[in-house]
Structure 1
Amino acid sequence: MRRRTLVFFVCSPHSRTGVTTAARLLTDYYLSRHVEVAGFDAAAREPAYALFFPDRAHVVDIGEAKGQVSLFERLLVADETPKIVDVSHHSFERLFARIAESGFFEAARRIGIEPLVLYQADASERAANSAEALAASWPDMGMTVIHNQGAAPLGRDALAILAGYPATGKFVIPRLDAPISAILDDLDLSLSGFLREPPADMSIVVRAALKAWILPIFTQFQSFELRLDLQSSDCLR
């Protein structure tokens, strides 16, 4: 059975909400399972995601027509390779406006591509309203909200805030203590590679903390993927 090609738009209308962290984790999740993935960094001004995956992620400038065409042409390839787009807050409104103008979501579904939005939650009213606007524009679009407890903590009202988002599911990225989280800035640190073989010079304490942080996140991604497979299974129709 031919699998759908998944295209993830990891996004937020605000900076410092964990977009790049989520895109990086999702990419390394696939790589840890020996699944090739194609990445796209829409933060042309200050790319970060692409720096972690120089061989797999392309920087695209959607502020230019050439960049938009290049991105959409690459995404509209039903090759079963997961594609991940890191959408910076600078690109958020422009990207979804171009998606609406081009009919990208509709065209993608016609050829077996499943667009999915991974929306970074924060406590602002604007973030929730922007998510509502996307859901209203594309009622059939799969939207999953991500709560990054370190980048965008929601406090005691977390459950109520998350319930206000028009999402069909959620991921939680736990907070990582500052001394450990600083290690994530190392461009040479592959999270999937770390799981296979931790750096020899990394302390046992750091290894344990980082592994305990990564594995539950990857488990969430795996459960999400299984749900998608079940939803598309011919046997359940």
Structure 2
Amino acid sequence: MAPRTLAFFVCSPHSRTGVTTAARLLTDYYLSRNVDVEGFDTDFREPLYAVFFPEATRIVDVSEIKGQISLFDRLLVADETPKIVDVWHRSYERLFATIAEIGFLEEARRRGVEPIVLFQTDVTESAANSALVLKTTWPDLMMSVIHNRGASPLGRDSLAILARYPASGKFVIPRLEAPIARALDDVNLSLSRFTREPPPEMSIVVRAALKAWLSPIFTQFQSFELRLELQSSEWLR
């Protein structure tokens, strides 16, 4: 099996859909397995993702050449270290326009880098249309959707809404009760360390609820990773 470097773009053209939460969870999934991660926060005004992982992330402004160089040159390094880009909604159009202009996806595959879009769903048609534009522009682009039931609930029409997205897979982030969700706002709470050793001062109720919430999310990421390995296996060709 040829080694691949995964480059994730966690994105949405809209705010408050759970982009940073998803990027954080994916990062902590890898860290919980002792896998180094390189992250990029494109919200240069209020870079929350970088606050959670100050030693593993860099802040980039993709509206400037310097920021584009800092981001894309690193993404093209095939070192088997997963790269995770938290795409701020205000950076969404500029980022994908730059990807098209420089031929990033084509160059990435030549270098053994696999770009993957994790698109955050919401109830608007424009979000699904934006996902469709990406898939139409790059038919071979690997895309999965993330449905964050707390940040962006889809309601009773969830199946119909999800069917609009041209994605090959789906992740679901369950909703958390408000008192439990507030625990996630603590920038000092490392979810990867939490899985091994929860903070002793944390309420036993919050601890149990976070474990029950986190476990199926990490299981989804693991299943996705295994599917990628099977798809690239030389034995299946």
TM category (shorter chain) comes to over 0.9
- Say which SS state the counterpart of residue 8 (structure 2) adopts: strand
Partner of 2:67: 67
* Local SS of the residue matching 1:90: helix
Percent identity of paired positions between Structure 1 and Structure 2: 73
SS in 2 for 1:199: coil
Residue 70 of structure 1: how far off its partner (Å):
1.1
**For the residues of structure 2 that align with 1:89 and 1:220, how far apart are their CA atoms?**
25
Helix, strand or coil: the match of 2:152?
coil
Q: How does 1:1-237 map to 2 (within 5 A)?
A: 1-237=1-237
> Within 2, Cα distance between the matches of 1:201 and 1:69?
43
Deviations 1:194-236 (A, max 9, x none): 0110000011111000000000000000000000000000010
Distance across 2 between alignment mates of 1:34 and 1:66: 31
Q: For 1:209, what is the secondary structure of its paired residue?
A: helix
Question: SS where residue 175 of structure 2 aligns?
Answer: coil
- Amino acid of the structure 2 residue aligned with 1:20: T
Question: For the Cα contact (< 8 Å) 2:2–2:232, is it kept in 1?
Answer: no
Structural RMSD (CA): 0.6
CA distance in 1, matches of 2:204, 2:46: 34
Opposite residue 213 of structure 1, the aligned amino acid is W
Structure 2 counterpart of 1:88, one-letter code = W
The one-letter amino acid paired with 1:77 is: V
* SS class of match (1:10): strand
What is the CA deviation profile of residues 52-103 of structure 1, one whole-angstrom value per residue up to 9, with x for unaligned ones? 0000010001111110011100100000000000001000000000000000
How far the C-alpha of 1:138 sits from its partner, in A, is: 0.4
Tell me if structure 1 keeps the 8 A contact 2:147–2:171. yes
Q: Distance between the aligned counterparts of 1:49 and 1:16, measured in 2?
A: 14
Distance (whole Å) between structure 1 residues aligned to residue 14 and residue 232 of structure 2: 33
Superposed displacement of residue 45, structure 1:
1.6
Could you tell me how far 1:2 is from its partner in structure 2?
A: 4.1
Task: Determine the C-alpha separation between the residues in 2 that align with 1:212 and 1:70.
Answer: 37
